[in-house]
Amino acid sequence: MSQAQLAGPDLSDSYVSLIESGKRTPTPVVARLLAERLGCTTEFLLHGIEPRQRIDTELGLRHAELELYHGDPVVAADRFGEIVKAAGEDNAMLAAHARMGVARALEAQGRTGRAVEAYERLRREAAAHPERLADLPLTIALCRCYQRAGDRLRAKDLGAHALTQVDRLGFVEGELAVELALALVEAETGLPYVERVLTATGSPEAGDSSSEVLALWQASVTAAEGEDSALAVQLAEDALAAGRPARIAIRCARIAMNWARLTASDPEDADLDRANELATSASRVFAGFANERAEHAKSLVVLSYVRLRSGDTESAADLAEQALDLLVGVPGTTAATAYTVLAEVALARSDDATPALRRAQDLLEAGPASLDRETARTWRALGDLWGQAGALDQQAGAYRRALEAVGIRVNIPGSTTSAVLAR
């Protein structure tokens, strides 16, 4: 059938050509008309699969998303991968969305390098085929991943690019706005937009809906086993919707926590009242979710530092101890930072800070050897406190470890290290 025959008296040959080349998307009316002339269903024409197959594929996508958000990201990656294989070249849009799911699952597993590779491939595809994927969610994901991988310059560039798109669209509410604000505050850039999102969104609170999500998810699986695919899809969508308020509340709490940390770290003109408000609200949200124990502890440490900056040493010490109770047996930067707060409290009271400083150093050394800004920041704070305590050798060693945490190796002998690194 020629383009002219397919166009008939209702359409132009050039319009059909644009649809075939992917430069135009047919309206529902035109899609039905073309499907009738081609002797297929509209579903097959638009998606390359029959209605029943489409429903089964939608169900597979929903169950993969449930695994990603509420189950095992490894299983989620496998399920998204199966959909990519099933879609093949005949359904490029479906395959692209499933590959996006694979990238998100890799990121959730902590495989940041692999996730970056997957997101970059998808971003190139989005540039070539904008009808398949939107660029903004990919830019946000890459900003987040590059920041976590330690490439702050690339993260800030991507954040600036995302802000350009957002300014054109003009939105500060919704899941995408919250995701962008979280990526920006982690990269310590675009903070005016972050503040606008915090103001527009407030401090949303949601209860832990895990039991409801799991019940709906199981009901969806049961419906699928009974070959009622349409009901199974609806139940899976209900499960995802039930978990959405909690996901948004947790992301907003992370934004608030990071904003409070940055505000309290500002040596001048810090709005400590605002920082206290945000850190308190974040801690309250995290406390309501059993799976957010680590984030709850981190928010308590941030809040303790805010109280310390405000001069309330008693409250600061109490909050740091609460955080450590949540982190019993867990090494790493969060517990170490709690001990640096206790050390600073001890110094403020003219007490012996050495036990707290040694404990902080032990926790940092026992944690994973990773290159990241947070670890570097904690080592640097520890070095400052060792210096205040008069232990110059320990100060130099902590400063050296701070540099190593961002990939800089130094070999400066003797006490000269302290002076050089302090500068």
| CATH number for 94 | 1.25.40.10
Q: Is residue 266 part of a domain?
A: no
Are 183 and 160 within 8 A, CB to CB? no
What 8-state DSSP symbol labels residue 27? Answer: -
Residues 6+ apart with CB under 8 A from 293: 326
**Together in a domain, 39 and 90:** no
State percent of the chain over pLDDT 70: 93
Do 201 and 55 lie in one domain? The reply is yes
Question: What integer best gives the mean pLDDT of the chain?
Answer: 88
Report the share of the chain in percent with pLDDT over 90.
Answer: 63
User: Are 41 and 138 within one domain?
Assistant: no
Fill in the amino acid letter for 150: G
> How many angstroms separate the CA atoms of 391 and 385, rounded?
9
The pLDDT assigned to 44 comes to 72
Which of 276, 274, 284, 285 lies closest to 316, judged by CA? 276
CB-based contacts of 302, cutoff 8 Å, min separation 6: 257, 260, 261, 264, 279, 282
Residue-wise pLDDT tens digits, 243-300:
999 999 999 999 999 999 999 888 776 789 999 999 999 999 999 998 899 999 999 9
Expressed in angstroms, the distance from the first to the final Cα of the chain is 76
Please indicate, yes or no, whether residues 79 and 198 belong to a single structural domain of this protein. yes
Write the DSSP string, 371-414.
Answer: --HHHHHHHHHHHHHHHHTT-HHHHHHHHHHHHHTTT------T
Domain-ending residue, one of 166, 182, 217: 217
pLDDT of residue 421: 47
Half-sphere exposure of 170 (CA within 13 A, CB side): 0
What is the H or E stretch that residue 9 is in?
none
Better-scored residue on pLDDT, 13 or 141 = 141
- 226, 189 contact by CB (below 8 A): no
pLDDT at 130 over 70: yes
The whole domain housing 135 covers: 51-217
pTM confidence score: 0.81
Does position 420 have pLDDT exceeding 60, yes or no? no
Low-confidence winner among 89-98, 279-288, 335-344 (lowest mean pLDDT): 89-98
| Residue 211 to residue 213: CA distance in whole angstroms | 5
Q: What is the pLDDT of residue 90?
A: 65
What pLDDT is recorded for position 418? 46
Would 423 be classed as within a structural domain?
no
**Inside any domain, residue 249:** no
pLDDT at 50: 56
Cβ neighbour number for residue 317 with a 10 Å cutoff: 22
Q: Could you tell me if residue 64 is inside a domain?
A: yes
Residue 89 has a pLDDT of: 66
Torsion 410-413-414-415 (CA) sign = negative
